[in-house]
Amino acid sequence: MLFLSRYKWHFLIWAIYFAFWTTVSIDGYHTPFFLALLTTLSWAVGQGVLIYFCIYRFFPLYFNTRRYGVFSLILTAALVVSAFFILGFQILIFSLAHEPMSYSIVAGLGYILLGNLYTVFLVIAIKSIRDRVRSDRRTQLLEKEKTENELHFLKSQMNPHFLFNAINSIYVLIRKDPEVASHTLLKFADMLRYQLYECNADRIAIEKEVLYLDNYIGLERLRKGSILGIEYHVGEEVRHFSVAPLLIIPFVENAFKHVSSYSDQANRVAVDLRCRNEHLELKVENTCEEDMDIPRIGIGGNGAGGGIGLENVRRRLDLIYNGRHILDIRKEGKHYSILLKIPVQ
Protein backbone atom coordinates (compact mmCIF):
# COMPACT_ATOMS: atom_id res chain seq x y z
CA MET A 1 0.00 0.00 0.00
CA LEU A 2 2.85 2.39 0.79
CA PHE A 3 4.37 1.70 -2.65
CA LEU A 4 1.05 2.41 -4.40
CA SER A 5 0.48 5.55 -2.35
CA ARG A 6 3.97 6.88 -3.13
CA TYR A 7 3.85 6.22 -6.88
CA LYS A 8 0.13 6.69 -7.57
CA TRP A 9 0.79 9.71 -9.82
CA HIS A 10 3.29 7.71 -11.87
CA PHE A 11 0.71 4.96 -12.46
CA LEU A 12 -1.93 7.52 -13.38
CA ILE A 13 0.32 9.35 -15.87
CA TRP A 14 1.38 6.11 -17.58
CA ALA A 15 -2.26 4.94 -17.77
CA ILE A 16 -3.20 8.21 -19.51
CA TYR A 17 -0.11 7.83 -21.75
CA PHE A 18 -1.20 4.34 -22.85
CA ALA A 19 -4.80 5.32 -23.43
CA PHE A 20 -3.93 8.46 -25.42
CA TRP A 21 -1.24 7.05 -27.73
CA THR A 22 -3.05 3.78 -28.35
CA THR A 23 -6.11 5.77 -29.41
CA VAL A 24 -3.96 8.02 -31.66
CA SER A 25 -2.36 4.96 -33.28
CA ILE A 26 -5.74 3.37 -33.99
CA ASP A 27 -7.58 6.49 -35.20
CA GLY A 28 -4.69 8.34 -36.85
CA TYR A 29 -2.77 5.47 -38.47
CA HIS A 30 -5.55 2.85 -38.65
CA THR A 31 -3.36 0.38 -36.76
CA PRO A 32 -5.08 -2.79 -35.47
CA PHE A 33 -5.79 -2.65 -31.74
CA PHE A 34 -3.23 -5.28 -30.69
CA LEU A 35 -0.47 -3.73 -32.81
CA ALA A 36 -1.37 -0.25 -31.54
CA LEU A 37 -1.10 -1.52 -27.97
CA LEU A 38 2.32 -3.09 -28.63
CA THR A 39 3.51 0.07 -30.43
CA THR A 40 2.55 2.16 -27.41
CA LEU A 41 4.28 -0.40 -25.17
CA SER A 42 7.52 0.00 -27.15
CA TRP A 43 7.36 3.77 -26.69
CA ALA A 44 6.48 3.45 -23.00
CA VAL A 45 9.34 1.07 -22.22
CA GLY A 46 11.92 3.01 -24.26
CA GLN A 47 10.92 6.41 -22.95
CA GLY A 48 10.18 5.19 -19.43
CA VAL A 49 13.65 3.74 -18.91
CA LEU A 50 15.17 6.86 -20.47
CA ILE A 51 13.13 9.22 -18.27
CA TYR A 52 13.68 7.41 -14.96
CA PHE A 53 17.40 6.96 -15.55
CA CYS A 54 17.63 10.62 -16.47
CA ILE A 55 15.79 12.08 -13.47
CA TYR A 56 16.95 9.60 -10.80
CA ARG A 57 20.50 8.84 -12.00
CA PHE A 58 21.97 11.19 -14.60
CA PHE A 59 20.30 14.36 -13.30
CA PRO A 60 21.48 14.08 -9.64
CA LEU A 61 24.96 12.76 -10.50
CA TYR A 62 25.90 15.12 -13.30
CA PHE A 63 23.42 17.97 -13.80
CA ASN A 64 22.99 18.92 -10.13
CA THR A 65 26.78 18.78 -9.68
CA ARG A 66 27.21 21.11 -12.69
CA ARG A 67 29.00 18.54 -14.82
CA TYR A 68 27.02 19.67 -17.83
CA GLY A 69 29.40 18.31 -20.46
CA VAL A 70 29.27 14.76 -19.11
CA PHE A 71 25.51 15.07 -18.65
CA SER A 72 25.04 16.15 -22.29
CA LEU A 73 27.14 13.27 -23.65
CA ILE A 74 25.38 10.64 -21.52
CA LEU A 75 21.95 12.07 -22.34
CA THR A 76 22.71 12.05 -26.08
CA ALA A 77 23.83 8.43 -25.91
CA ALA A 78 20.74 7.49 -23.90
CA LEU A 79 18.46 9.23 -26.44
CA VAL A 80 20.02 7.29 -29.32
CA VAL A 81 19.89 3.92 -27.51
CA SER A 82 16.25 4.51 -26.56
CA ALA A 83 15.34 5.45 -30.15
CA PHE A 84 16.97 2.31 -31.60
CA PHE A 85 15.19 0.17 -28.99
CA ILE A 86 11.78 1.64 -29.83
CA LEU A 87 12.36 1.38 -33.57
CA GLY A 88 13.71 -2.16 -33.33
CA PHE A 89 10.75 -3.25 -31.20
CA GLN A 90 8.29 -1.80 -33.71
CA ILE A 91 10.05 -3.40 -36.71
CA LEU A 92 9.88 -6.74 -34.89
CA ILE A 93 6.19 -6.61 -33.99
CA PHE A 94 5.12 -5.37 -37.42
CA SER A 95 7.15 -8.07 -39.18
CA LEU A 96 5.70 -10.78 -36.92
CA ALA A 97 2.19 -9.47 -37.63
CA HIS A 98 2.96 -9.27 -41.39
CA GLU A 99 1.79 -5.66 -41.41
CA PRO A 100 3.56 -2.87 -43.34
CA MET A 101 4.95 0.05 -41.35
CA SER A 102 3.51 3.46 -42.22
CA TYR A 103 6.96 5.12 -42.32
CA SER A 104 10.52 4.33 -43.42
CA ILE A 105 13.22 3.28 -40.99
CA VAL A 106 15.19 6.53 -41.39
CA ALA A 107 12.10 8.70 -40.99
CA GLY A 108 10.98 6.61 -38.03
CA LEU A 109 14.34 6.95 -36.31
CA GLY A 110 14.30 10.72 -36.73
CA TYR A 111 10.71 10.94 -35.48
CA ILE A 112 11.49 8.81 -32.41
CA LEU A 113 14.64 10.80 -31.59
CA LEU A 114 12.67 14.04 -31.80
CA GLY A 115 9.91 12.61 -29.60
CA ASN A 116 12.42 11.41 -27.02
CA LEU A 117 14.14 14.79 -27.03
CA TYR A 118 10.88 16.69 -26.42
CA THR A 119 9.81 14.27 -23.70
CA VAL A 120 13.13 14.32 -21.82
CA PHE A 121 13.44 18.09 -21.85
CA LEU A 122 9.85 18.44 -20.66
CA VAL A 123 10.52 16.04 -17.77
CA ILE A 124 13.82 17.79 -16.91
CA ALA A 125 12.03 21.15 -16.84
CA ILE A 126 9.30 19.79 -14.57
CA LYS A 127 11.82 18.15 -12.24
CA SER A 128 13.98 21.29 -12.08
CA ILE A 129 10.97 23.40 -11.14
CA ARG A 130 9.80 20.86 -8.55
CA ASP A 131 13.29 20.59 -7.00
CA ARG A 132 13.58 24.37 -6.83
CA VAL A 133 10.19 24.67 -5.14
CA ARG A 134 11.11 21.95 -2.64
CA SER A 135 14.49 23.58 -1.97
CA ASP A 136 12.87 26.98 -1.37
CA ARG A 137 10.28 25.41 0.90
CA ARG A 138 12.98 23.56 2.86
CA THR A 139 14.96 26.79 3.22
CA GLN A 140 11.89 28.61 4.53
CA LEU A 141 11.16 25.81 7.00
CA LEU A 142 14.78 25.82 8.12
CA GLU A 143 14.71 29.56 8.76
CA LYS A 144 11.48 29.20 10.70
CA GLU A 145 12.86 26.24 12.63
CA LYS A 146 16.02 28.18 13.43
CA THR A 147 14.03 31.04 14.92
CA GLU A 148 11.84 28.67 16.90
CA ASN A 149 14.88 26.79 18.10
CA GLU A 150 16.59 29.95 19.35
CA LEU A 151 13.50 30.91 21.32
CA HIS A 152 13.05 27.40 22.63
CA PHE A 153 16.67 27.13 23.66
CA LEU A 154 16.64 30.41 25.56
CA LYS A 155 13.43 29.41 27.35
CA SER A 156 14.10 25.79 28.21
CA GLN A 157 17.43 24.30 27.18
CA MET A 158 19.42 26.20 29.78
CA ASN A 159 16.59 25.75 32.26
CA PRO A 160 16.21 27.60 35.56
CA HIS A 161 16.81 24.41 37.51
CA PHE A 162 20.25 23.96 35.94
CA LEU A 163 21.07 27.64 36.39
CA PHE A 164 20.14 27.56 40.07
CA ASN A 165 22.18 24.42 40.78
CA ALA A 166 25.19 25.64 38.81
CA ILE A 167 25.24 29.01 40.60
CA ASN A 168 24.71 27.33 43.97
CA SER A 169 27.60 24.92 43.30
CA ILE A 170 29.88 27.82 42.39
CA TYR A 171 28.78 29.68 45.52
CA VAL A 172 29.66 26.71 47.73
CA LEU A 173 32.98 26.33 45.90
CA ILE A 174 33.91 29.97 46.59
CA ARG A 175 34.34 29.16 50.27
CA LYS A 176 36.27 25.95 49.63
CA ASP A 177 38.54 27.01 46.75
CA PRO A 178 38.14 30.58 45.50
CA GLU A 179 40.59 30.09 42.61
CA VAL A 180 38.72 27.08 41.21
CA ALA A 181 35.41 28.88 41.79
CA SER A 182 36.66 31.87 39.79
CA HIS A 183 37.74 29.64 36.92
CA THR A 184 34.39 27.78 36.99
CA LEU A 185 32.46 31.05 36.96
CA LEU A 186 34.32 32.13 33.83
CA LYS A 187 33.35 28.86 32.15
CA PHE A 188 29.74 29.42 33.15
CA ALA A 189 29.84 32.94 31.70
CA ASP A 190 31.32 31.55 28.47
CA MET A 191 28.41 29.12 28.20
CA LEU A 192 25.84 31.89 28.53
CA ARG A 193 27.73 34.09 26.07
CA TYR A 194 27.87 31.24 23.54
CA GLN A 195 24.12 30.68 23.72
CA LEU A 196 23.14 34.33 23.61
CA TYR A 197 25.54 35.77 21.05
CA GLU A 198 27.37 33.09 19.04
CA CYS A 199 24.59 30.72 18.00
CA ASN A 200 22.83 33.02 15.55
CA ALA A 201 24.86 31.80 12.55
CA ASP A 202 23.71 28.89 10.39
CA ARG A 203 26.97 27.07 11.03
CA ILE A 204 29.61 27.39 13.71
CA ALA A 205 33.13 26.02 14.19
CA ILE A 206 33.09 22.60 15.86
CA GLU A 207 35.79 23.83 18.23
CA LYS A 208 33.29 26.28 19.77
CA GLU A 209 30.65 23.59 20.15
CA VAL A 210 33.21 21.31 21.81
CA LEU A 211 34.31 24.13 24.15
CA TYR A 212 30.70 24.61 25.24
CA LEU A 213 30.43 20.85 25.78
CA ASP A 214 33.64 20.89 27.86
CA ASN A 215 32.27 23.65 30.07
CA TYR A 216 28.89 21.99 30.44
CA ILE A 217 30.34 18.65 31.50
CA GLY A 218 32.74 20.43 33.83
CA LEU A 219 29.80 22.05 35.61
CA GLU A 220 27.98 18.71 35.79
CA ARG A 221 31.06 17.12 37.38
CA LEU A 222 31.00 19.90 39.96
CA ARG A 223 27.28 19.53 40.63
CA LYS A 224 27.06 15.73 40.75
CA GLY A 225 30.31 15.06 42.57
CA SER A 226 31.21 11.44 43.33
CA ILE A 227 27.66 10.08 42.99
CA LEU A 228 27.98 10.08 39.20
CA GLY A 229 30.69 8.55 37.05
CA ILE A 230 31.33 10.67 33.96
CA GLU A 231 33.32 9.43 30.96
CA TYR A 232 34.05 12.07 28.35
CA HIS A 233 36.17 11.80 25.23
CA VAL A 234 36.61 14.01 22.15
CA GLY A 235 38.82 12.71 19.34
CA GLU A 236 41.74 14.82 18.17
CA GLU A 237 40.33 14.73 14.63
CA VAL A 238 37.23 16.68 15.71
CA ARG A 239 38.37 20.07 14.40
CA HIS A 240 38.60 22.33 11.35
CA PHE A 241 34.99 21.97 10.18
CA SER A 242 31.65 23.55 10.97
CA VAL A 243 28.28 22.26 12.16
CA ALA A 244 24.86 23.71 12.84
CA PRO A 245 24.89 25.10 16.39
CA LEU A 246 23.17 23.42 19.33
CA LEU A 247 22.69 19.99 17.73
CA ILE A 248 25.01 18.08 20.05
CA ILE A 249 24.30 19.68 23.42
CA PRO A 250 20.62 18.63 23.81
CA PHE A 251 21.53 14.93 23.70
CA VAL A 252 24.17 15.38 26.40
CA GLU A 253 21.78 17.44 28.51
CA ASN A 254 19.16 14.73 28.08
CA ALA A 255 21.58 12.12 29.46
CA PHE A 256 22.29 14.14 32.60
CA LYS A 257 18.60 14.93 33.02
CA HIS A 258 17.54 11.27 32.95
CA VAL A 259 20.58 9.61 34.55
CA SER A 260 19.81 7.22 37.38
CA SER A 261 20.25 8.14 41.03
CA TYR A 262 20.87 4.74 42.62
CA SER A 263 22.45 4.58 46.05
CA ASP A 264 23.50 0.94 45.73
CA GLN A 265 24.50 0.86 42.04
CA ALA A 266 26.78 2.81 39.77
CA ASN A 267 25.35 5.85 38.01
CA ARG A 268 27.10 6.66 34.75
CA VAL A 269 27.12 9.07 31.82
CA ALA A 270 29.47 8.49 28.88
CA VAL A 271 29.98 10.96 26.02
CA ASP A 272 32.13 10.12 23.01
CA LEU A 273 32.62 12.49 20.07
CA ARG A 274 34.76 11.63 17.06
CA CYS A 275 35.01 11.77 13.25
CA ARG A 276 34.86 8.66 11.08
CA ASN A 277 34.45 8.35 7.33
CA GLU A 278 33.66 12.06 6.87
CA HIS A 279 30.93 11.90 9.52
CA LEU A 280 30.76 13.42 12.97
CA GLU A 281 29.70 10.70 15.40
CA LEU A 282 28.23 11.43 18.82
CA LYS A 283 27.59 8.57 21.19
CA VAL A 284 25.94 9.29 24.53
CA GLU A 285 25.10 6.62 27.10
CA ASN A 286 23.66 6.82 30.58
CA THR A 287 22.20 4.57 33.21
CA CYS A 288 18.55 5.13 33.95
CA GLU A 289 15.83 3.72 36.12
CA GLU A 290 14.14 0.84 34.38
CA ASP A 291 10.58 2.13 34.72
CA MET A 292 11.47 5.71 33.74
CA ASP A 293 9.62 7.01 30.69
CA ILE A 294 12.28 8.58 28.48
CA PRO A 295 11.57 10.28 25.12
CA ARG A 296 12.50 8.06 22.20
CA ILE A 297 13.18 8.80 18.55
CA GLY A 298 14.04 5.99 16.16
CA ILE A 299 16.65 5.62 13.44
CA GLY A 300 16.71 8.52 11.00
CA GLY A 301 14.62 10.61 13.37
CA ASN A 302 11.43 8.57 12.94
CA GLY A 303 9.56 6.93 15.75
CA ALA A 304 7.51 7.56 18.81
CA GLY A 305 7.03 11.04 20.09
CA GLY A 306 9.32 12.51 22.67
CA GLY A 307 10.17 15.58 24.66
CA ILE A 308 10.10 19.01 23.09
CA GLY A 309 13.90 19.27 23.11
CA LEU A 310 14.62 16.02 21.26
CA GLU A 311 11.72 16.51 18.87
CA ASN A 312 13.02 20.00 18.12
CA VAL A 313 16.49 18.64 17.32
CA ARG A 314 15.02 15.85 15.18
CA ARG A 315 13.17 18.40 13.02
CA ARG A 316 16.31 20.50 12.64
CA LEU A 317 18.32 17.44 11.59
CA ASP A 318 15.70 16.52 8.98
CA LEU A 319 15.69 20.03 7.56
CA ILE A 320 19.45 20.58 7.59
CA TYR A 321 20.66 17.17 6.43
CA ASN A 322 17.59 15.95 4.54
CA GLY A 323 17.96 12.26 5.38
CA ARG A 324 21.77 12.18 5.21
CA HIS A 325 22.06 11.76 8.97
CA ILE A 326 21.48 8.85 11.35
CA LEU A 327 19.82 9.28 14.72
CA ASP A 328 19.35 6.15 16.77
CA ILE A 329 17.97 6.49 20.30
CA ARG A 330 17.38 3.40 22.39
CA LYS A 331 16.32 2.46 25.90
CA GLU A 332 17.03 -1.11 26.93
CA GLY A 333 16.33 -1.86 30.56
CA LYS A 334 18.56 0.37 32.66
CA HIS A 335 20.64 1.53 29.72
CA TYR A 336 19.88 4.53 27.52
CA SER A 337 21.96 5.37 24.45
CA ILE A 338 22.06 7.86 21.61
CA LEU A 339 24.00 7.57 18.36
CA LEU A 340 24.09 10.57 16.05
CA LYS A 341 25.95 10.68 12.72
CA ILE A 342 26.02 13.80 10.58
CA PRO A 343 28.11 14.52 7.48
CA VAL A 344 31.09 16.81 8.01
CA GLN A 345 31.28 19.95 5.87
DSSP 54-91: IIIIIIIIIITTT-HHHHHHHHHHHHHHHHHHHHHHHH
In terms of domains, do 187 and 318 share one? yes
Q: Would you say residue 145 lies in a domain?
A: no
**The domain that contains 296 carries what CATH number?**
3.30.565.10
- The pLDDT tens digits of the residues spanning 74-84 come to 888 888 888 99
What CA–CA distances, in Å, run from 20 to 25, 27, 43, 47, 48?
Answer: 9, 11, 12, 15, 16
In terms of domains, do 217 and 316 share one? yes
In terms of domains, do 74 and 177 share one? no
Tally the C-alpha atoms within 13 A of residue 103's C-alpha that lie toward its C-beta. Answer: 13
Q: What is the pLDDT of residue 303?
A: 36
Q: Would you say residue 146 lies in a domain?
A: no
Domain boundary among 137, 167, 193: 137
Query: By the 8 A CB rule, do 145 and 315 touch?
Result: yes
Q: What is the pLDDT of residue 186?
A: 86
Q: Would you say residue 133 lies in a domain?
A: yes
Question: What does the radius of gyration of the chain's CA atoms come to, in whole angstroms?
Answer: 30
In terms of domains, do 61 and 162 share one? no
Q: Would you say residue 142 lies in a domain?
A: no
Query: By the 8 A CB rule, do 271 and 251 touch?
Result: no
Higher pLDDT, 94 or 241: 241
* Residue 234 pLDDT level (bands cut at 50, 70, 90): very high
The residues with which 276 forms a beta bridge, in sequence order, are 279
Q: Would you say residue 152 lies in a domain?
A: no
What CA–CA distances, in Å, run from 143 to 136, 225, 239, 302?
Answer: 11, 40, 26, 22
Q: Would you say residue 164 lies in a domain?
A: yes
Domain span at 103: 2-137
Strand locations in the chain (E): 204-205, 229-234, 242-243, 268-276, 279-287, 326-332, 335-343
The residues with which 122 forms a beta bridge, in sequence order, are none
In terms of domains, do 215 and 269 share one? yes
Q: Would you say residue 57 lies in a domain?
A: yes
Q: How far apart are CA 330 and CA 311, in angstroms?
A: 15
In terms of domains, do 196 and 234 share one? yes
In terms of domains, do 116 and 243 share one? no
Q: Would you say residue 143 lies in a domain?
A: no
In terms of domains, do 121 and 39 share one? yes
- Count of structural domains, the chain: 2
In terms of domains, do 191 and 320 share one? yes
pTM, to two decimals: 0.53
In terms of domains, do 131 and 169 share one? no
Domain boundary among 83, 103, 137: 137
- The pLDDT tens digits of the residues spanning 171-188 come to 877 877 888 888 888 888
Q: How far apart are CA 321 and CA 323, in angstroms?
A: 6
What average pLDDT does the segment 265-288 reach?
93
Q: Is the pLDDT of residue 308 over 90?
A: no
In terms of domains, do 251 and 295 share one? yes
Query: By the 8 A CB rule, do 282 and 340 touch?
Result: yes
What average pLDDT does the segment 134-139 reach?
82
SS3 333: coil
Please state whether beta strands 229-234 and 268-276 pair in parallel, antiparallel, or not at all (unpaired): parallel
Q: Is the pLDDT of residue 284 over 70?
A: yes
In terms of domains, do 95 and 196 share one? no
